[in-house]
Structure 1
C-alpha cells in the first residue's frame, strides 16, 4: 500500500464467480473453479477512483492449479454474459506470485481469510487446505 496523506494505491483480488464444468489441464478432470479478478487501484479516502492492470484467473478446486484467461472472457463472465471457457482458453500459471498471495491466507473449504499459521479454520472448523 502506498499512501500520500489521504491518497493510496493498492492491489486487490476479488472473487467474481464459481464456474462449473471446466476441464483442468493439470489434473485432466472436469472441475469447479473460482474466477478471481486481480487489479491495482487508486483510492481517495478509501474510495476507488480508477483501476488498471486487470487480470482474471481461475483456480481449480481439485488440484489447486491456477489458470489465466483473457480479459475479454473474464469481463463477459463478470457481466453474466454467456461465455464458453474451453480447454485452450486456460493458460496454466507456474508457481506464480498470484497463487502464493491468494492461497496463503484463504481456506479452500469455506473461502474465508485465515491466518496461515492456523491448522484448523476458525470459520468452518475443517483442517486448513491452502
Structure 2
C-alpha cells in the first residue's frame, strides 16, 4: 500500500497595517507592514491556520515576507559620498570586491 501526501506550510497576509511602510530587500519596490498567518495545506486545501508571532513587511511584487529591521533606508548622505565603494544594485549595501553574491540580500553582483 502506498500513500502520497502533498502539502506544506505557507505564510499569508492576514491584515495590512500600513501601506508602503518600507522597501523590499530583494526587488526594491514598496512593502507593506502586515500581520500574517501561517497556513497548513494538504492537497492544496487550507486545513489549519495560526497567527504569526510578529509583524512583518510583505512585498506584493515578489511575495517576500521579511522583518522591518532589514528594510531600513541604508542610503544616507554619508554613504552617497563614497563613490569608490562597491555596492549591491538591489539593497545598496557596501560589499567587499571579492564577493560574487551580496551577503545581505543574496543577489548576484555581476
Point out the structure with max Rg over C-alpha: 2
TM-score, reference length from structure 2: 0.31
Greater relative contact order (Cα < 8 A, sep 6+): 2
TM-score, reference length from structure 1: 0.28
